[in-house]
């Protein structure tokens, strides 16, 4: 009698986009935020969301640019298990989220005001009409 092949050991595979579970992995997709991922992982109250956000941020520093609001699309996040949250108080998590939000807003304000962190925005050059005249005006600028 032939035996069925032995089952392969279970390996935790990353969850599909849009799903997250505490103690699993999650692949970040476009328009994800850390708070929305925390909610999908089961955090229900603002305190739970903040605790899970901070724990996830600390467990995955490579997925961020130093701030919870700079989450990289395509990053594979390890969502901490409930046991990993034991050492993180609600007070500590709330303070950390508040600190990071303030830093992010300050940096965004500096960029908007043309501060040091301002970035250039590249724009496409307008195409010339087939006649060789100026950009889409239909009139030559060299009369």
* Range name among 3-7, 84-88, 137-141 with the lowest pLDDT average: 3-7
Contact 50, 93 (CB under 8 A): yes
Give the chain's length: 143
Distance CA 36, CA 57 (A): 13
Largest separation between any pair of C-alpha atoms in the chain: 94
Residue 140 has, within 13 A of its CA and on its CB side, a CA count of 5
Distance CA 84, CA 90 (A): 13
CA distances from 83 to 15, 52, 130, 131 (A): 20, 11, 67, 70
Q: pLDDT tens across 30-83, in order?
A: 999 999 999 999 999 999 999 999 999 999 999 998 999 999 999 999 999 988
Which helix (H) or strand (E) element contains residue 51? helix 46-59
The domain segmentation of the chain, as residue ranges, is 12-143
What is the pLDDT, as a whole number, of residue 15? Answer: 33
pTM above 0.75, yes or no: no
Q: pLDDT tens across 90-110, in order?
A: 999 999 999 999 988 888 777
Q: Is the pLDDT of residue 88 over 70?
A: yes
């Amino acid at each position: 009698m032939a035996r069925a092949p032995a089952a392969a050991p279970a390996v935790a595979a990353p969850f599909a986009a849009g799903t997250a579970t505490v103690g699993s992995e999650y692949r970040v997709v476009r328009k994800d935020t850390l708070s929305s991922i925390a909610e999908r992982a089961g955090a229900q109250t603002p305190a739970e969301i903040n605790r899970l956000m901070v724990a996830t941020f600390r467990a995955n520093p490579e997925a961020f640019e130093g701030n919870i609001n700079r989450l990289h699309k395509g990053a594979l996040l390890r969502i901490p298990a409930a046991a990993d949250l034991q050492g993180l108080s609600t007070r500590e998590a709330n303070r950390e989220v508040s600190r990071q939000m303030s830093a992010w807003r300050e940096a965004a304000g500096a960029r908007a005001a043309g501060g040091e962190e301002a970035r250039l925005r590249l724009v496409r050059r307008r195409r010339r009409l087939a006649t060789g005249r100026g950009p889409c005006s239909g009139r030559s600028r060299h009369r």
